Amino acid sequence: MCLAIPVKVTEITGAVARVEMAGVTREVSVMLLPETQVGDYVLVHAGFAIERIDEQEAAETLRLFSEMETNLEN
Amino acid sequence: MSNDHHRYVADFRNAEVARKIADRLAARKLERTVRLMEVCGTHTVAIWKHGIRQLLPEGITLLSGPGCPVCVTTNADVDLAIALARRPDVTLATFGDMLKVPGSYSSLQQAKAEGAGIRIVYSPLDALRIAQDNPSTSVVFFAVGFETTAPTIAASVLEAERQELDNFYIISVHKLIPPAMKALLDSGEVRIDGFICPGHVSSIIGARAYEFIANDYGIPCVISGFEPLDVLQSIDMLVAQINERRASVEIEYSRAVRREGNKVALELLHRVFEIADADWRGMGILSRSGLKLRPEYSRYDAEQVFDIDSGPTRDHTGCSCGDVLRGAMTPSDCRLFAKTCTPEHPVGPCMVSSEGTCSSWYQYGGGTYGIR
């Protein structure tokens, strides 16, 4: 049921955002995520943006993987 | 591909890093065998699709729990939807993956072929649009799903209210994940040493919703993303907790899950719905494990508005979906699996839904070559 890949917000009009993924655009509601801004990456479920992807946290998670690699090598 | 694609998808699928996490996991000393359960159909698929089982050291077993919303919907609820769809004054709107799910005697797909008014929608807002465009038809949305879906339905009900639509209704068979996890632990039927908690359910409900599992039952929980490195890392975090004799709720999927969840979505959900008992396939009626419309929104409740008699229910002989959903049986132990029950001719919902445990086992070779 869940689409796990984030989509990019390209336009917002009222409670409706236009999102784009791999060249396909569609409209989703931002009623559940009113602070959404153009340029955000969001998770979409059943036509609604449900959460914004936190760029810093994504980088931090990737960094933890790398840190772990370093530890393994030590 | 763009940098963004790399940051959010490709970097989380790096095979070299996956091997290193797997090596680290293999280097951890297990005091005893470890049994971890995922309770999300999207994780079930991700684990098979990315070959996670094949990367795990001996002694770690992954179990699939009741994480597919289509699968845990009972025959009685499917029968109800079919009975409503057969009324000439009703159009039933449903997510596509409910269509082939067998009820007691028929499926929505079969009813549609026989002339019932059934429309497949991607979003409850699509159902709302059908109601706007067809004012003389009663449009009933078959609201199946967990905490991720429920706020979208709540928002649609509020939108129907705002637009003063008087021909939009729902059948609420929403279910809640933490009560199902509790029921599995209370029954003691299956030993579970840790939970891989669902990603997007947790985007809504946050991490606190699982704290009673860590605190009261001493079972570690890790909220996981859906990419292969996410799942491997989550398994490693669970094994680390088990080895350190800790039990807490950790968030691996921190880029999409906040500890407090999505407050706006939760507020809308609780404005429209109240917690109620719910009937789960394979688990029976679980206390406070579902959602029903609050009395002030009962005019949208199809079960209250329409006089429906869907007749007696029956179970399908030999189908073990109930046992599979509790993790008490693997699909390849079911005597129908890959024989009379296949994705082309499914007997039970776990083979119908692409996120069903049986469907995933069938598609990715579960039960063959010793893969379990």
User: Is A51 in Cβ contact with B200 (below 8 Å)?
Assistant: yes
Q: Note the pLDDT of residue A5.
A: 77
- B54: exposed, middle or buried (Cβ count in 10 Å: 0-12, 13-18, 19+): exposed
From chain A, pick out residues whose CB is under 8 angstroms from the CB of B233.
61, 64-65
CB B144 within 8 A of CB B73: yes
Q: Give the pLDDT band (50/70/90) at residue B2.
A: low
Per-residue pLDDT at B145 exceeds 80: yes
Rounded CA gap, B252 and B67, in Å?
Answer: 19
Residues of chain B with CATH 3.40.50.11750: 3-69+189-251
Rounded to the nearest 10 degrees, what angle do helices B263-272 and B150-162 cross at?
Answer: 60
Q: How would CATH label the architecture of B3-69+189-251?
A: 3-Layer(aba) Sandwich (3.40)
Q: Note the pLDDT of residue B9.
A: 86
User: Is B203 in Cβ contact with A69 (below 8 Å)?
Assistant: no
- B113: exposed, middle or buried (Cβ count in 10 Å: 0-12, 13-18, 19+): exposed
Rounded CA gap, B203 and B259, in Å?
Answer: 9
pLDDT digits (tens, 9 = 90+) for B195-218: 999 999 999 999 999 999 999 999
How many domains does chain A fold into? 1
Q: Give the pLDDT band (50/70/90) at residue B194.
A: very high
Write phi, then psi, for A62 (nearest 5 degrees).
-65, -40
| Best residue in B8, B173, B222, B353 for a mutation probing chain A (most A CBs within 10 Å) | B8
Q: Note the pLDDT of residue B370.
A: 62
CATH of the domain spanning B70-176+261-305, picked from 3.50.30.20, 3.40.50.11740, 3.40.50.10490, 1.10.10.10:
3.40.50.11740
Highest mean pLDDT among B133-142, B310-319, B350-359: B133-142
Rounded CA gap, B132 and B91, in Å?
Answer: 12
Q: Note the pLDDT of residue A71.
A: 53
From chain A, pick out residues whose CB is under 8 angstroms from the CB of B262.
32-33, 50-51
Tell which wins on pLDDT, B366 or B292: B292
Rounded CA gap, B124 and B100, in Å?
Answer: 19
Domain harbouring A13, CATH code: 2.30.30.140
**Is ipTM over 0.90?**
yes
User: Is A45 in Cβ contact with B199 (below 8 Å)?
Assistant: no
Please give the full DSSP string across B229-257, using - where no structure is assigned. HHHHHHHHHHHHHHHTT---EEES-TTT-
Q: b vs e for B34-50, b when ≥16 Cβ sit within 10 Å of the residue's Cβ?
A: bbbbbbbbbbbbbbbeb
Q: What is the mean pLDDT of chain A?
A: 87
Write phi, then psi, for B46 (nearest 5 degrees).
-60, -40
| Strands across the sheet containing B34-38 | B60-64, B34-38, B194-197, B221-223, B249-251
Rounded CA gap, B274 and B231, in Å?
Answer: 33
Q: Note the pLDDT of residue A73.
A: 45
Residue A13 belongs to what domain range? 7-73
Question: What is the C-alpha R_g of chain B?
Answer: 21
Instruction: Kindly state the helix (H) or strand (E) to which residue A14 belongs, with its residue range.
Output: none
User: Is B268 in Cβ contact with A32 (below 8 Å)?
Assistant: yes
**Which percentage of chain B shows pLDDT scores above 90?**
90
User: Is A60 in Cβ contact with B20 (below 8 Å)?
Assistant: no
Rounded CA gap, A9 and A12, in Å?
Answer: 8
Per-residue pLDDT at A69 exceeds 60: no
From chain B, pick out residues whose CB is under 8 angstroms from the CB of A41.
4, 8
Rounded CA gap, B266 and B230, in Å?
Answer: 25
Q: What is the mean pLDDT of chain B?
A: 94
- B88: exposed, middle or buried (Cβ count in 10 Å: 0-12, 13-18, 19+): exposed
CA distances B271 to B161, B178, B295, Å, are 13, 20, 11
Q: Is residue A53 in a domain?
A: yes
Number of helices (H), then strands (E), in chain B? 18, 11
CA distances A50 to A34, B8, B214, Å, are 10, 17, 26
First-to-last alpha carbon distance for chain A, in angstroms, is 41
User: Is B265 in Cβ contact with A29 (below 8 Å)?
Assistant: no
Averaged pLDDT, B284-301: 98
CB B282 within 8 A of CB B326: yes
Q: Note the pLDDT of residue A74.
A: 39
User: Is A41 in Cβ contact with B20 (below 8 Å)?
Assistant: no
Q: Å from A33 to nearest chain B CA? A: 7
Task: Give every CB contact of residue B41 below 8 A, 6+ residues apart in sequence.
Answer: A1, A2, B67, B68, B69, B71, B353, B355, B356
Averaged pLDDT, B8-31: 92
pLDDT digits (tens, 9 = 90+) for B235-280: 999 999 999 999 999 999 999 999 999 999 999 999 999 999 999 9
Q: Is residue A2 in a domain?
A: no
Classified as helix, coil or strand, B109 is helix
Q: Is residue A65 in a domain?
A: yes
Residue in B70, B152, B252 closest to A47 by CB: B152
User: Is A48 in Cβ contact with B155 (below 8 Å)?
Assistant: yes
pLDDT digits (tens, 9 = 90+) for B53-87: 999 999 999 999 999 999 999 999 999 999 999 99
Q: Which residues pair with B278 in a beta bridge?
A: B286
Q: Note the pLDDT of residue B226.
A: 95
Residues of chain B with CATH 3.40.50.11740: 70-176+261-305
Per-residue pLDDT at B101 exceeds 60: yes
Write phi, then psi, for B264 (nearest 5 degrees).
-65, -45
- Looking up tokens 């996991």 gives B25
pLDDT digits (tens, 9 = 90+) for B14-24: 999 999 999 99
Averaged pLDDT, A12-21: 94
Q: Å from B227 to nearest chain A CA? A: 8
User: Is A2 in Cβ contact with B226 (below 8 Å)?
Assistant: yes
From chain A, pick out residues whose CB is under 8 angstroms from the CB of B18.
none
Structure tokens at B186: 């209370």
Classified as helix, coil or strand, B309 is coil
Averaged pLDDT, B218-244: 97
